[in-house]
Amino acid sequence: MEGLRLNSMIHFLLLFVFFVFSQRVNATEPVLELTKGFEAKPDSSFNTFQPLLTDPNQNFSFGFLRVNGSRLSLAITHPNLTDPLWILNPTHSASWSHKTKLTFNGSLVITDPSSRVEWSTHTNGDRLILRNDSNLQVVKLSSSVVEWESFDYPENTLVENQNFTSAMALVSSNRLYSMRLGSDFIGLYAKVREGSDSDTQQFYYKRSALQAKAKVKDGLGPILARINPNGYLGMYQTGNIPIDVEAFNSFQKPVNGLLILRLEFDGNLRGYLWDGSQWVLNYEAIRETCDLPNPCGEYSLCTPGSGCSCLNNGTMIGECSHGIPETVDFCGGEKTVEIRRGGVEVPFKELMNHKTTSSLSECEEMCVEDCKCFGSVYNNGSGFCYLVNYPIRTILGVADPGKMGYFKVREGVGKKKSRVGLTVGMCLIAVIALVLTVAMVYVGFRIWSREKRDLEEDNGLSPGPYKNLGSDSSFRSVEMSRR
Ligand SMILES: *[C@@H]1O[C@H](CO)[C@@H](O)[C@H](O)[C@H]1NC(C)=O
Ligand SMILES: *[C@@H]1O[C@H](CO)[C@@H](O)[C@H](O)[C@H]1NC(C)=O
Ligand SMILES: *[C@@H]1O[C@H](CO)[C@@H](O)[C@H](O)[C@H]1NC(C)=O
Ligand SMILES: *[C@@H]1O[C@H](CO)[C@@H](O)[C@H](O)[C@H]1NC(C)=O
Ligand SMILES: *[C@@H]1O[C@H](CO)[C@@H](O)[C@H](O)[C@H]1NC(C)=O
Ligand SMILES: *[C@@H]1O[C@H](CO)[C@@H](O)[C@H](O)[C@H]1NC(C)=O
Ligand SMILES: *[C@@H]1O[C@H](CO)[C@@H](O)[C@H](O)[C@H]1NC(C)=O
Ligand SMILES: *[C@@H]1O[C@H](CO)[C@@H](O)[C@H](O)[C@H]1NC(C)=O
């Protein structure tokens, strides 16, 4: 009896010591490297991010990121950035379950038997470390040979001094936009339709190298881009002399902080500077909202200075494409409705191909006859005819009425819209009728009761709610629904 109690007390004490010790280790000792034999599983108590490794300054963490509630990915985060700096290509996401395992055996390996995901760095290193610039590396013990690094696999963010090569792409977190290098430029591309061929992408922004300090030469190989700590995005072909300098706001101002560049969900490329307490916007590739790839949504119009509206002014702002069935093309004999309007222009027209036609009708005709064409825009002045071969997105509104647009909309929309409109209208009439009936009955009652009261006491003037009921609010809503 006595022995048993002592035993369990010792057991308890040991557990307690172990608990305190392990808590202390967790709380105070940052993990600065992972060595061979490391193994970790996701812990259900972490809602968003489970840290596993930190950099020497403890600015960044590497760990498990919970995606969509139940998926797991690997990520590198900074506490003051909502989006991770780096995330393992989300197509490799595993499940957030105790069956999923991350190991380091020379390779960083993630295995998930239930969703049959297995991803590996395919290396034979000795340690996994997180550098003070957020670069995650598999390195050899003896030398500082780097076998694998996260800087080679950027996701939507580029960090100061990280080399962005022509083999890489930045992809926005919604996977709609990408940044790639051309022979002498930086290009941004929007995914405009499903599929894998090249016409799924619309080129919407180009930064050509100015080549002021160095020229691009044939045979010297592809260019690369890199954020220079002096406050610019540089393009380089060889060495450290840039072929282009795209200045950030902090250009040539002595700042002490880290610069990052990020391709964001709206398709803009933005630079941020860590100033010691927060990330400050430091650069924006596209300054005008209407120059973004799709600021107002499908079948809409963006007019500088006055914002978004719909191509078809019968539809409500914010849902210009509401009810338009998704269409790959019009080659299946789909019935179409046509929208024509002046004062429109294709966005990024300098990056789109055009034909020259002698008249507006000739331009439209080319689109009418091509079942893959969704619309055409004709410039009366220049004779340029632009054909859009993907579902219409945001079109640019311009002052010149001679720039004429022709757009195909799959039928079903207008009809559906008007039917919806009709139903709403009928409901409203019914409601108004009801309100009026109630009001009349009420007023009748009041008059009756007042007369009755007037008869009873001579001076009874009681203001009824008659005027309020009649009134403004319901009429305003009728007018609004008509708009
Ligand atoms: C997250 O969920 C959304 C919608 O449920 C889905 O479209 C998306 O592909 C999911 N993402 C991942 C990484 O599983
Ligand atoms: C940055 O993150 C840390 C840790 O979450 C927090 O304490 C701090 O207030 C944040 N700073 C700003 C400027 O948001
Ligand atoms: C590490 O583990 C993976 C998966 O179990 C295995 O395929 C790989 O050969 C191992 N690598 C080394 C260096 O042991
Ligand atoms: C980052 O680490 C490098 C060496 O790896 C060092 O030279 C540099 O000063 C460090 N920077 C900061 C901000 O800690
Ligand atoms: C980037 O490339 C340059 C030249 O190609 C090289 O000197 C430098 O070490 C690279 N930087 C990193 C972080 O890999
Ligand atoms: C990193 O840590 C250092 C020292 O703690 C701090 O001065 C610096 O602002 C931090 N940088 C970032 C990007 O958080
Ligand atoms: C749309 O608005 C324009 C300009 O306000 C007008 O000229 C045109 O007739 C309208 N179209 C429709 C279908 O209401
Ligand atoms: C287009 O140009 C022709 C000839 O220059 C002119 O007659 C016509 O009015 C223009 N149309 C529009 C819509 O501006």
- Inform me whether the pLDDT recorded for 21 exceeds 90: no
Ligand approaching nearest to the C-alpha of 303 = 7
pLDDT digits (tens, 9 = 90+) for 425-447: 454 555 566 666 666 666 555 65
Final residue before a domain boundary, out of 126, 151, 176: 151
Given a cut of 90, whether residue 378 has pLDDT beyond it is yes
- 401 CB under 6 A from ligand 8? yes
Strand 355-356 to strand 384-388: parallel, antiparallel, or no bridges (unpaired)? antiparallel
Residue 183 and residue 299 in one domain: no
Instruction: Let me know whether 159 and 244 are in one domain.
Output: yes
Q: What sign does the dihedral 473-474-477-478 (CA atoms) show?
A: negative
Kindly state whether residues 51 and 147 are assigned to the same domain.
yes
Q: Give the C-alpha separation, 31 to 58, whole Å.
A: 10
Domain end point (choices 386, 414, 442): 414
Residues 213 and 241 in one domain: yes
Indicate if 251 and 365 belong to the same structural domain: no
Give the model's pLDDT for residue 163.
96
Lowest-confidence segment of 17-21, 122-126, 167-171, 255-259 by average pLDDT: 17-21
Cα–Cα distance for residue pair 354/388, rounded to 1 Å:
10
Residue at token pair 């598999």: 138
Residue span of the structural domain in which 321 resides? 294-414
Q: Are both 168 and 268 inside the same structural domain? A: yes
Token pair of 442, please?
Answer: 């009420």
pLDDT at 469 over 50: no
Please indicate, yes or no, if residue 323 is contained in any of the structural domains. Answer: yes
Q: Provide the pLDDT for residue 419.
A: 43
Output the pTM of the full model: 0.79
- Taking the C-alpha atoms of residue 86 and residue 93, their distance in angstroms, rounded to an integer, is 14
Mean pLDDT score of the chain: 82
Q: What is the CATH number of the domain that holds 300?
A: 3.50.4.10
Helix (H, G, I), strand (E, B), or coil: what is residue 378? strand
Q: How far does residue 77's CA lie from ligand 6's centre (Å)?
A: 13
For residue 41, what is the DSSP state? Answer: -
Indicate whether 146 belongs to any domain. yes
Based on the domain organization, do 92 and 183 belong to the same domain?
no
Q: Is residue 306 part of a domain?
A: yes
Q: Are residues 302 and 388 in the same domain?
A: yes
Q: Higher pLDDT residue, 480 or 114?
A: 114
Do 322 and 237 fall into the same domain? no
Give the bridge partners for 276, in sequence order: none
Residue 170 lies in a domain: yes
Whether 304 and 216 map to the same domain: the answer is no
Say how many Å lie between the CA of residue 188 and the centre of ligand 5.
Answer: 23
Rounded to 5 degrees, what are φ and ψ at 400? Answer: -75, 110
Q: What is the pLDDT of residues 134-151, one digit of tens each?
A: 999 999 987 679 999 999
Regarding whether 176 and 118 lie in a shared domain, the answer is no
First-to-last C-alpha distance (Å) of the chain: 87
Is the same domain home to 332 and 217? no
With cut-offs at 50, 70 and 90, classify the pLDDT of residue 320.
confident
What separation in angstroms does the CA of 389 have from each of 43, 293, 397, 443?
48, 15, 19, 62
Query: Which of 384, 414, 444 lies at the terminal end of a domain, its last residue?
Result: 414
Q: How many domains does the chain have?
A: 4
> Is 68 part of any domain?
yes
Q: How far is the CA of 57 from the centre of ligand 4 (A)?
A: 9
For strand 384-388 and strand 375-379, is the pairing parallel, antiparallel, or unpaired?
A: antiparallel
Is residue 15 included in any domain, yes or no? no
pLDDT band at 110; cut points 50, 70, 90: very high
Tens digit of pLDDT for each residue in 200-252?
Answer: 899 999 999 888 888 888 888 899 999 999 999 999 998 889 999 999 998 98
User: How confident is the model at residue 328, as a pLDDT?
Assistant: 82
Q: Could you tell me if residue 350 is inside a domain?
A: yes
The CATH code of the domain that includes 107 is: 2.90.10.10
Q: Looking at the domain assignment, is residue 312 inside a domain? A: yes
- Give the residue, out of 380, 382, 398, 400, with the most ligand 8 atoms within 8 A of its beta carbon, to mutate for a pocket test: 380
Lowest mean pLDDT: which of 62-66, 126-130, 478-482? Answer: 478-482
Atom of ligand 8 minimally distant from the CA of 402:
14
Whether ligand 8 lies within 6 angstroms of the CB of 120 is answered as no
Contacts of 162 (CB under 8 A, 6+ apart): 133, 135, 151, 154, 226, 227
Q: How far is residue 376's CA from residue 219's CA, in Å, rounded to a whole number? A: 40
Strand 300-303 relative to strand 394-397, pairing: parallel
- Which pLDDT value is given to residue 217? 85
Model pLDDT, residue 446:
65
